[in-house]
């Protein structure tokens, strides 16, 4: 499932399907595979805002479709 | 003189720190070969002089953006005596990534915990003494936008510059990495004085540039893959990054005390964001903000500019009568119509530009600008532009000059230059007098729709040109992915914004002033020489040039010297087209003269030409400063060709029907 499909709640980042620049950018911002993030806002098909602790990151729709996530039970 | 480099993430307040340190001694230019702005300056502390360079804002020191490459090359090759790393204290964990990278290089570092007030407001209290003890470098707290802590920073820079070279920071990446580094020692040919450990770690991350120094590439490559695989990471870079963050978290845990207020602020911020990112609310809200900006920049700015304009006009007339008694006619005209008008045409931009800079820094400071980019992104992507390009484009309707300056908010070079190149197609308010004159003379009943059609044509062409450029000239350059940190909303610091805008405006006027001024004087000279001719008449040099180029415009239906002269003088400022026509035909008979020269068909062709052809001198200067001479020439060329072509096609096709 991609991040763009998550309306709200907490998910675990399972992987990045985008190119190298995209992956590096996520790393530079401090988002890693395995991190648990909360979806703050998602107006499909639009940008997604996620939260990791006190950090808020906006992700364009195109990029959000390339972030793979899994629900946490 | 000792060399000081200022490094830091984007939005760390780095440039403000730089301004505080260097005051008015700074100069700006570009880094060699690229359009990234380079600011340099100086300051003196305790009798010692320091040369300061503001490095581009970067998150790390890999080489996947120009900014990072510039910063890294400077640190490695120029070997500054002191590196000040500016950190946003309210976002300390993320900003410390760059700190560890630079510390690993072994520079003499001063860590500047900037925006310390925001961190404390969030509830983070940072023990700078502890931090300094762990990292073995001085740590200074500052609030750049209130100019607090600048003296302490200067003192630390001074002290650090006296010290021996710092030992590179050693983060424990685990036994296999240390073994790998030992293994590398005899397999790498590093240039002299290269930061060794840092370079080995970059080799492990398979940094393309540094990997070139490896002798036995295949063997090393294989070894890296084995280590990464055995530790279960997708690639070496992730491995290093995670270890670094682990180290950072460990350090910060020791130095940060309790959090309180932040969550309250985040809660409010999140609520606003949920509403703003909803397209049904976000886009109209954005348009309303744009309208307000437009109203302030031009609604308040233009009357002020008019006031300046009228004052210059008054000064001009008064001095003219005064000088006429003392000087010969030619000299009087040079001093008034040439020089005073020239100076006036520069100062007249001040109100618009100052207001624009102020509003932009206000929006950026409040946190809204970052959100606006997301709101408009999907729409702008269709035409190959970035979400943030929308703001400069809208401003272009008022005046192209502030619009071009507003592209500074765009991060990637491609987006910035592309946007700059299409801004001249946005019909600015200086072109309106031409539309009004001609629609009044030829399309009395349809004035509004004809004028609207011109604005619409401009926007339509901008979209087409953007599409074409992004598929040809900028084909290879990819827009960076739209992922941004969204700091919680905050109350903008107005006094600081005012100061910054004033500073930026002055810098612009100083840079643009000379070119605009020279252009006005040159056009004045061409119109008044040889001595004794009527101003801008057929016998003047300008008139002769006009006669010479007029045939070019014959296929568009207006191949007369008067029109060519008007278009030429319009390069000084678009509204001058009307003034020149008035001077040539006489103010009274202007409309009837135009009606005898033009048909409605050729009049509209002329309007298309006026809309599109070569931008005015002030715009030309702005393009040169922001994008460089190459893209300026390209813009002049394409706008002229496009304007001419459209006028000709319209006229020739129209002739079949009328």
Chain A positions in Cβ-Cβ contact with residue B270 (cut-off 8 Å): 40-41, 49, 51, 56
According to DSSP, residue B529 is labeled: P
Cβ distance of A46 and B378 shorter than 8 Å: yes
B5 near B53, Cβ under 8 Å? yes
Shortest alpha-carbon distance between residue A40 and chain B (Å): 7
| pLDDT (0 to 100) of residue B361 | 77
The CATH number that domain B2-162 falls under is: 3.40.50.300
B284 near B384, Cβ under 8 Å? no
B391 near B372, Cβ under 8 Å? yes
Give the total number of structural domains in chain A. 1
For B405, residues 6+ apart whose C-beta sits below 8 A from its C-beta are B353, B356, B357, B508, B622, B626
Paired tokens of B357:
């800079």
Residue with tokens 């005899």: B186
CA distance linking residue B613 with residue B635, whole number of Å: 10
Strand bridging mode B139-141 / B109-114 = parallel
| pLDDT (0 to 100) of residue B658 | 75
| pLDDT (0 to 100) of residue B365 | 79
| pLDDT (0 to 100) of residue B526 | 84
The CATH number that domain B175-257 falls under is: 1.10.287.1770
Phi-psi region for residue B385, left (φ > 0), alpha (ψ -120 to 50) or beta? Answer: beta
Cβ distance of B94 and A57 shorter than 8 Å: no
For B483, residues 6+ apart whose C-beta sits below 8 A from its C-beta are A22, A25, A26, A29, A57, A58, A59, A60, A63
| pLDDT (0 to 100) of residue B492 | 82
Q: B267: part of which helix (H) or strand (E)?
A: helix B262-276
Chain B positions in Cβ-Cβ contact with residue A40 (cut-off 8 Å): 270, 273-274
CA distance linking residue B591 with residue B596, whole number of Å: 9
Cβ distance of B374 and A60 shorter than 8 Å: yes
B249 near B93, Cβ under 8 Å? yes
Coil, strand or helix: which one is B401? helix
| pLDDT (0 to 100) of residue B139 | 94
pLDDT tens string A36-63: 999 998 887 778 999 987 788 998 888 8
Cβ distance of B486 and A41 shorter than 8 Å: no
Strand bridging mode B48-54 / B37-45 = antiparallel
| pLDDT (0 to 100) of residue B260 | 54
DSSP state string for B473-520: TTTTPPPPP-EEE-PPP----HHHHHHHHHHHHHHHHHHHHHHHHHHH
| ipTM summary value | 0.91
Q: In chain B, which residues have pLDDT < 50?
A: none
| pLDDT (0 to 100) of residue B645 | 95
Shortest alpha-carbon distance between residue B486 and chain A (Å): 5
B353 near B505, Cβ under 8 Å? yes
- In chain B, domain spans: 2-162, 175-257
Q: Give the CA angle between residues A5, B376, B301 to the nearest 5°.
A: 155
Query: Of B386, B463, B481, B390, whose CA–CA distance to A61 is shortest?
Result: B481
Option in B245, B270, B487 nearest A40 (CB): B270
Cβ distance of B242 and A32 shorter than 8 Å: yes
Q: Which of A8, A23, A43, A63 to mutate to probe the B interface, most B CBs <10 Å?
A: A43
Shortest alpha-carbon distance between residue A73 and chain B (Å): 24
Angle between helices B494-528 and B350-366 (to 10 degrees): 150
3-state helix, strand, coil in chain A (%, to 5): 25, 40, 35
pLDDT tens string B528-561: 878 777 777 788 888 888 889 989 999 998 888 8
pLDDT tens string B166-207: 888 888 888 888 888 888 888 888 888 888 889 999 999 888
Return the residue of B nearest to A59 by Cα: B483
Range of the domain at A16: 3-71
A17: domain CATH number?
2.30.30.90
pLDDT tens string B15-63: 889 989 988 666 766 666 666 678 889 999 999 999 999 998 888 887 6
| pLDDT (0 to 100) of residue B191 | 85
B487 near B367, Cβ under 8 Å? yes
CA distance linking residue B51 with residue A30, whole number of Å: 33
| pLDDT (0 to 100) of residue B390 | 80
Kindly state whether B183 is in contact with chain A, defined as any CB-CB distance less than 8 angstroms: no
| pLDDT (0 to 100) of residue A34 | 85
């Amino acid at each position: 499932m991609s991040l763009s499909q998550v309306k709200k709640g907490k998910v675990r980042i399972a992987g990045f399907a985008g190119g190298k620049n995209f992956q590096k950018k996520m790393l530079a911002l401090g988002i890693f595979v395995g991190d648990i993030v909360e979806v703050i806002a998602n107006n499909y098909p639009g940008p997604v805002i996620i939260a990791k602790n006190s950090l808020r990151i906006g992700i364009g729709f195109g990029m959000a479709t390339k972030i793979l996530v899994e629900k946490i039970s | 003189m000792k060399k000081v480099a200022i490094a830091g993430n984007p939005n760390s307040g780095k440039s403000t720190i730089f301004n505080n340190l260097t005051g008015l001694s700074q100069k700006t230019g570009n880094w060699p070969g690229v359009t990234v702005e380079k600011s340099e300056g100086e300051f003196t502390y305790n009798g010692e002089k320091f040369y300061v360079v503001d490095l581009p804002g970067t998150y790390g020191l890999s080489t996947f953006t120009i900014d990072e490459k510039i910063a890294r090359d400077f640190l490695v090759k120029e070997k500054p005596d002191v590196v000040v790393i500016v950190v946003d204290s309210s976002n300390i964990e993320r900003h410390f990534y760059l700190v560890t990278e630079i510390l690993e290089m072994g520079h003499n570092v001063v860590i500047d915990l900037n925006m310390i007030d925001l961190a404390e407001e969030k509830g983070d209290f940072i023990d700078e003494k502890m931090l300094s003890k762990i990292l073995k470098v001085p740590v200074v707290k500052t609030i750049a936008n209130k100019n607090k802590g600048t003296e302490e920073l200067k003192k630390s820079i001074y002290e650090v510059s006296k010290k021996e070279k710092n030992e590179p920071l050693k983060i424990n990446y685990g036994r296999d990495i240390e073994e790998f580094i030992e293994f590398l020692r005899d397999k790498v040919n590093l240039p002299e004085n290269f930061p060794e450990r840092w370079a080995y770690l970059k080799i492990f991350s398979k940094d393309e540039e540094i990997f070139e120094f490896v002798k036995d590439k295949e063997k090393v490559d294989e070894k890296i893959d084995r280590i990464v695989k055995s530790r279960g990471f997708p690639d070496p870079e992730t491995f290093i990054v995670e270890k670094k963050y682990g180290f950072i978290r460990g350090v910060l845990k020791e130095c940060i005390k309790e959090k309180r207020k932040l969550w309250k602020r985040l809660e409010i911020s999140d609520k606003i964001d949920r509403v703003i990112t909803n397209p049904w609310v976000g886009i109209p809200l954005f348009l309303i903000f744009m309208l307000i900006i437009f109203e302030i920049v031009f609604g308040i700015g233009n009357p002020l500019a008019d006031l300046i304009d009228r004052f210059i006009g008054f000064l001009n007339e008064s001095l003219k009568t005064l000088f006429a008694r003392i000087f010969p006619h030619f000299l009087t005209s040079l001093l008034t119509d040439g020089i005073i008008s020239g100076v006036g045409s520069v100062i007249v931009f001040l109100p618009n530009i100052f207001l624009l800079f102020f509003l932009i820094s206000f929006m950026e400071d409040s946190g809204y600008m970052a959100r606006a980019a997301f709101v408009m992104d999907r729409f702008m992507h269709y035409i190959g532009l970035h979400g943030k390009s929308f703001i400069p484009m809208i401003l272009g309707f008022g005046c192209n000059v502030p619009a071009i300056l507003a592209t500074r908010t765009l991060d990637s070079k491609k987006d910035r230059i592309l946007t700059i190149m299409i801004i001249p197609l946005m019909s600015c308010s200086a072109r309106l007098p031409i539309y009004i004159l001609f629609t009044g003379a030829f399309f009395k009943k349809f004035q509004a729709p004809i004028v609207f059609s011109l604005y619409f044509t401009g926007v339509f062409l901008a979209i087409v040109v953007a599409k074409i450029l992004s598929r040809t000239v900028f084909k290879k350059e990819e827009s960076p992915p739209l992922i941004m940190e969204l700091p919680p909303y905050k109350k903008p610091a107005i006094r600081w914004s005012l100061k910054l805008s004033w500073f930026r405006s002055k810098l612009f006027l100083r840079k643009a002033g000379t070119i605009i001024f020279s252009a006005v004087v040159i056009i004045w000279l061409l119109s008044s020489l040889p001595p004794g001719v009527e101003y801008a008449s057929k016998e003047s040099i300008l008139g002769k040039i006009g006669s010479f180029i007029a045939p070019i415009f014959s296929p568009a239906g207006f191949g007369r010297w008067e029109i060519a002269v008007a278009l030429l003088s319009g390069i000084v400022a678009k509204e001058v087209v009307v003034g020149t026509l008035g001077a040539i035909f006489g103010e009274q008979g202007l409309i009837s003269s135009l009606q005898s020269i033009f048909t409605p068909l050729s009049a509209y062709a002329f309007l298309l030409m006026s809309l599109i052809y070569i931008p005015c001198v002030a715009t030309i200067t702005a393009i040169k400063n922001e994008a460089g001479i190459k893209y300026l020439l390209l813009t002049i060329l394409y706008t002229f060709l496009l304007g001419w072509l459209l006028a000709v096609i319209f006229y020739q096709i129209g002739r079949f029907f009328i």
